[in-house]
Amino acid sequence: MAMSGVDLPPVRPQTSLQRPGFLRRLMADYGQELIVLLAIVVLFVAVTAVNPRFISANNLTSIFSGNAYIAVAAIGMAMVIITGNIDVSIGALIGVLATISGTLAVAGYPIWVAWFFPVLVGMAINGLIGILVAYFRIPSIVVTLGALSILRGGLISVTGGTWISDLPPAFLIAQQKWLGLPVPLVAMIVLTVLAALWMRYSAFGRSLYAVGGNPEAAVATGIPIERRIVAVFILNGFFAGLATILFATQLQVIQSTVPPNLELTIIMAAVIGGVSILGGSGTVIGSTLAAILFATIGSALIFVNVSAYWLRAVIGLLILATVLADMLRRRRTV
């Protein structure tokens, strides 16, 4: 977690003097993403060989759209981590926003209000977190640990855990299709591509890498670090809000509690996807791929009949293997 230290992974070379081939350059720029992608492909091939139903359209739909909300939330998380911060309150936030969304929908507000008002709430809460982190210099893990307690405790004391049912059918957008594709899948792809392009090509996006990777240099080049950090938390709230829309509309009932361990899954997706936890590198494509990898692992282990008791150990081992593979790759590229 140190802001300084030699453990900083090497900055990816953007250009090289030796005019490397396309593959080499791709490997250098998107190495971790490619490893994750490779892992997904290998899993698909191996499991399909055991049970061809694994690549049936239905199963692909379940894998991709059932977990799209994790990928969408991980986009915001990736941006936060790129600036050298972290948000452990995101799971609780999504629980709170889903409850607000469902309550509004049942209370008869227009559907779009029920969808997008929680997004604003998420942005406001995260804006506050960002201000505490940026201007009051409280480490983000402290602020978000506190926010986690406040949101989780607050949700239970307000709702008492009553479930929300009788949701209007039009509200359930995650169950609908768009051009024959499930809405969550489309949302995941569109948001990931837009965010990736924006991170790579906009001045704002590029400045985030500087904020995380080399704050002194960022200050020297005139980047307003504090404003960037607040902005990135607001963005995180925005993506958490969008993730909530997918999360809350997936079933006909909303469980108004904090989803267990959701923050760990989202952080892990952002991290495994190649966003170094030290900040300053990584892409949002990687985090989305990692979210897909988790979903694939979860489904695959059921398909290949891994003893349910050993399921989590195998998941842990696969994650560790991915991390170590990345570290070995980084060493080789230096």
Partner 1 sequence: MHKIVLSALLALSFSTSLSHAQSAWTGGDDLPTNPLACDATPATAEAKPYDGGQPTNPPDRKGKTLTVVDVPKLVGIGYFNATSKGIADAAKEMGTMNAKTDGPSKANIDDQITLIDNYITSGVDGILFAANDPVAISPVLKKALAAGINVVGYDANSEPDARQWFVNQAEFNGIAKAMVDSMASEIGEEGSFAIVTSTFTTPNQARWISEMAAYQAKCHPKMKWLETVEAQEDNILSFNQSNTLINKYGDELKGIFGMTSVATPAAADAVTQAKKCGSVAVVGLATPNAMKPYVSAGCVKSVVLWNPVDLGYAAAYVLRAAADGTLAPGATSVKAGKLGDLSVINGSEILLGAPFVFTKDNINDFDF
Partner 2 sequence: MTLRSFIRHETFLAILLVLALFVLSWQSDRFFTVANLLNQGRLMTETGLIAIAMTFVIATGGIDLSVGSILGLTAILTGVFWKNLGVPLPAAAVAAIAVGTFAGYVNGLIITRFRVPALIATLATLALYRGLAEGVSQARSVRGYPDWFYVLGQGEVLGVPTQLWILLIAAVVAAVILAYTRWGRTTYAIGSNEVAARFSGLSVEGTKLALYTMSGFAAAVAAVIFVSRVSTTRSDMGSGIELDAITAVVLGGTSIFGGRGTVLGTVLGLCLIQALKNGLSLAGVKGDGTIMLIGIVLILAVLASAIFERSGTR
Does the footprint of partner 2 cover residue 197 (CB under 8 A)? Answer: no
Nearer to partner 2, 104 or 272 (CB): 272
Question: Nearest 5°: phi and psi at 178?
Answer: -135, 115
Q: What does 267 interact with, of partner 1, partner 2, none (CB < 5 to 8 A by kind)?
A: partner 2
Smallest gap, in angstroms, from Cβ of residue 330 to partner 1? 17
Confirm if 80 and 236 have CB atoms less than 8 A apart: yes
333 binds partner 1 (CB under 8 A): no
Q: Which of 65, 48, 46 is nearest to 56 (CA)?
A: 48
Q: Which listed option, partner 1, partner 2, none, makes contact with residue 3 (CB within 5 to 8 Å by class)?
A: partner 2
Residue from 13, 113, 135, 165 that binds partner 1 (CB under 8 A)?
Answer: 165
Please give the Cα distance from 156 to 256 (Å, whole number). Answer: 8
Site for partner 2 in 83-102 (CB under 8 A): 86, 88
Say if CB 36 and CB 286 are below 8 A apart: yes
Burial of 145 (0-12, 13-18, 19+ CB in 10 A): middle
Exposure string (b/e) for 189-212, b if CB count within 10 Å is 16 or more?
Answer: eebbeebbeebeeeeebebbbbbb
Nearer to partner 1, 102 or 215 (CB): 102
Instruction: Tell me which of partner 1, partner 2, none is bound by residue 48, counting a contact when its beta carbon lies within the kind-specific cut-off of 5 to 8 angstroms.
Output: none
Measured from the CB atom, is 101 or 281 closer to partner 2?
A: 281
Q: Which is nearer to partner 1, 277 or 320 (CB)?
A: 320
- Cα–Cα distance for residue pair 12/322, rounded to 1 Å: 19
Among residues 35, 134, 232, 267, the one that binds partner 2 under rule CB under 8 A: 267
Element (DSSP H or E) covering residue 163: none
List helix spans (H) across the chain.
22-50, 57-66, 68-82, 90-106, 111-134, 140-159, 183-201, 203-213, 215-220, 225-248, 262-272, 284-303, 311-333
138 binds, among partner 1, partner 2, none (CB under 5 to 8 A by kind): partner 2
Among 119, 278, 290, 300, binds partner 2 (CB under 8 A): 278
- The 254-293 site mask, x for binding partner 1 (CB under 8 A), equals -xxxxxxx--------------------------------
Verify binding: residue 332, partner 2, rule CB under 8 A: no
Contact between 43 and 297 (Cβ < 8 Å): yes
Q: Which range binds partner 1 by CB under 8 A, 38-46, 188-196, 275-283, 309-317? A: 309-317
310 to 178, 305, 307: CA distances (angstroms): 38, 10, 5
What gap in Å lies between CA 175 and CA 170, rounded to an integer? Answer: 10
- 3-class SS of residue 164: strand
Give contact residues for partner 2 (rule: CB under 8 A).
1-7, 9, 86, 88, 132, 136-139, 141-143, 145-150, 152-154, 156-157, 264, 267-268, 271-272, 276-278, 307, 309-317, 319-320, 323-324, 327-328, 331
Give contact residues for partner 1 (rule: CB under 8 A).
51, 53-54, 56, 58-59, 62, 66-67, 69, 152-153, 155-156, 159-163, 165-166, 175, 247, 250-253, 255-261, 295, 298-299, 302-303, 305, 307-309, 311, 313, 317, 320
